[in-house]
Amino acid sequence: MYKVVFDSDGLLKAYKAGFLQEVTKTYTCLLPHEVYQETVLAASRVHPEEATAFEDLIRAGRLLRRAATRASRADRLLAMSAALGSGERGALRLFYKEHADFVVTDDRAFLTLLARHRIPFLTPSEMLFGLRKANLLSREEAEGAAERLRPLIRREVYRDLKERLEGLS
């Protein structure tokens, strides 16, 4: 089973699009402490239903909270990028600490850093496509999730996702 590390952006988009449950069944999902603080603790005040859903997944052992300790490889990369927030920093450190397979993000600055240093990543739209391609989501479920993802992603990413999903049908 692949091991993935979420940043806040990736976690929230998978949740809001409605396919986080399937992701947590398919992958070992790691949640850095910093992302927990940004999404769960902060969401509890503004979006309590989100916080409750995340806490339920944590209690069920499907979202695994982890502290990200310093990792020299991550620290070298992070020293070059002041644009990243604490969640992205925690995700990169946890990626190295846990020897994860992918980072899940849709943050542009973080994606740039990951691509530049050939660190494997998945965007929420790529995860959604992968779940559909593996028949872990029905065509209708994937199309519904893509529609919910639509306002959260760039127009061209949405168009590409829709074309790719239609190509599977």
pLDDT, averaged per 10 consecutive residues of the chain (169 residues), comes to 94 96 96 92 83 94 87 74 85 93 95 94 97 96 97 96 91
19's CB contacts (< 8 A; 6+ apart) are 127, 128, 131, 137, 141, 145
Prediction pTM value? 0.92
Radius of gyration of the chain (CA): 15
Q: How far apart are the first and last CA of the chain?
A: 26
Q: 52-82 as b/e, with b when 16 or more CB fall inside 10 Å? A: ebbeebbeeebbeebebeebeebeebbeeee
- Rounded CA separation 49/166 (Å): 32
Domain 3-125, CATH number (from 3.30.200.20, 3.30.1490.190, 3.40.50.1010, 3.20.20.70):
3.40.50.1010
